[in-house]
Amino acid sequence: MTVPVIFRRTWAGFPCRAPWVRCTFAAMTWATLFAVPVTTLAQDAMMGTVLDEPGSAGLGFVFRAESSPYRDGGTRDDFLPLYLYEGERFFLRANEAGMRLWRNDTMGLEGFVERRLEGYPEDEAPASLDGMTVRNTGADLGVRFYVQRDASRWDAAVRHDIAGLSHGTEVRAGYAYTVERQRWRLQPVAIATWRSGDLNDYYYGVAPLEAREDRPAYDAGDGWNATLALYGKYRIFQHWSLVGGAYVTKLSSAIGDSPVVDDDLQWGVMAGAAYDFGNGQVRWDEDTAPTYVKVFYGRDSGDGCHLVRIMTLQCVSHNDDDPTDIYGVHVGRPFVSRFNGWPLDIVGYVGLLRHDDKGFQPDGWQLDAYMKGFWYGFPWSDRVTTRVGFGIGVSYAERVPYSEVTTQARRERNTSKLLNYLEPSIDVSLGDLFGSRRWHDVYFGFAVSHRSGIFASSQLLGTVDGGSNYLYAYLEATF
């Protein structure tokens, strides 16, 4: 069982009053992430304690341990990256992204899409579930109404499965109270959750064909769960904070009576760290902020040519046996310029990539969204601007790329459409190379498009161990 988002206050700071290009791009960036949330629902309340300022954005990570309700399920561990943003119209809250539909000083209405991390990982099913169809992560569409009164917040939400898995519905009502001091913040939370029979039966029912002597058929009905949680944050530096929390959930009898469920109590703990950029450094709202457009073309790397070997120049070979290509465009906006006064810029990108799978399977689209840092403090940069970049984000493929299908099949590993995205790169200014000021902000470079499941450590990413690497060349221009 998981808990809903309970936030301390309503944030502002995503101004879209200036040029439509800026507003459209900003909307695309955060709306793109609607389907790729990054942490579990059990942590949503904690996410409301991370950001300090209106319009803030944050990056971080969380380690999570959670008891499994399934017999022989034990304790599950997760490593989850955090991507956070709170704007005037759009928000990204770890596993959830959405839009503010209406609000005033004390109340608001939000629409959202969130990732439901329930069930069990495909390759880690406990023995009690042997022979059963895998029940795994899903996606919900929902609407939330909240009332904020000083440190108290009341929250009610309805969500429904849109992944075509459970076809179930969930209604949540919660209360949160925030205690805050100069460096720390605590937030106790109480939640009551009604789950429909379809939802409970999908995750905890046993179909007649799945029944056996020690696992009779079971049709789980609807029921109420209750959750108590405590989440918090401690600021250790100006922008760095430790975050964490714990919760316990009493499962309904509809779940607890299932022959595959071991206990009607579920607990979870989590701890991590987050960096809050703060609204003072964010440049989305500047009329003069440029837009970056990058076009690229590349091919998958050779067998054994993984990301670390590519970055250390030990391997830059292409796949010659069953090669596949990619091409696409990424569009970016500056997020932070000269981070902490260093020659380091951070840019947010979103874009489309097309897989040309050469007839091995139907071609497919890939959607990438990521934050990327560019370092340009080299001694020769006053003559030829040189940038080394590294991006991190998420990637969703319309269908699993052929290079991943074949590689994972050889290793007898599972695949996932949603994976973590990394992009190291190096480029130079063409204007500086050819002595043209007009072309100063046109860059030519090489990069790696890398998808992976973070060593099978994340249920969110399908517990995938592996992925793909594409070597590509690109041109990037600033407008």
Contact 171, 225 (CB under 8 A): no
Residue 413 burial class via C-beta count within 10 angstroms: exposed 0-12, middle 13-18, buried 19 and up: middle
Contact 142, 159 (CB under 8 A): yes
All domains in the chain, ordered by first residue: 20-276 (2.40.160.40), 292-478 (2.40.160.20)
Taking the C-alpha atoms of residue 119 and residue 117, their distance in angstroms, rounded to an integer, is 7
Judge whether residue 47 has pLDDT over 60: no
Taking the C-alpha atoms of residue 110 and residue 438, their distance in angstroms, rounded to an integer, is 45
Contact 55, 86 (CB under 8 A): yes
Contact 144, 155 (CB under 8 A): yes
Note the pLDDT of residue 53. Answer: 63
Of 134-143, 215-224, 425-434, give the lowest mean pLDDT range: 134-143
How much of the chain, in percent, has pLDDT values that exceed 70?
85
226-244 pLDDT, tens digit per residue, is 999 999 999 998 888 999 9
Contact 416, 398 (CB under 8 A): no
435: number of Cβ within 10 Å: 7
Note the pLDDT of residue 61. Answer: 87
Q: Shortest CA distance to 457 belongs to which of 13, 64, 32?
A: 64
- Put simply, whether the predicted model's pTM sits higher than 0.85 gets the answer no
Taking the C-alpha atoms of residue 247 and residue 3, their distance in angstroms, rounded to an integer, is 9
Task: List, in order, residues 6 or more apart from 22 with CB less than 8 Å away.
Answer: 16, 284, 285, 287, 289, 291, 333
What are the structure tokens assigned to 41, written together?
Answer: 């629902």
* DSSP output for 417-438: SEEEEEEEEEEEEHHHHHT-GG
Read off the pLDDT band of 23 (50, 70, 90): very low
Note the pLDDT of residue 121. Answer: 66
Torsion sign over Cα 427, 425, 346, 332: positive
Judge whether residue 180 has pLDDT over 50: yes
Note the pLDDT of residue 219. Answer: 96
> Between β-strands 169-177 and 152-161, what pairing exists: parallel, antiparallel or unpaired?
antiparallel
Residue 125 exposure: Cα atoms within 13 Å on the Cβ side? 14
Secondary structure element (H or E) that encloses residue 402, with its range: helix 402-410
Read off the pLDDT band of 122 (50, 70, 90): low
378-424 pLDDT, tens digit per residue, is 999 889 999 999 998 889 899 999 999 999 998 888 888 889 899 99
Contact 178, 155 (CB under 8 A): no
Q: Shortest CA distance to 327 belongs to which of 301, 360, 356?
A: 356
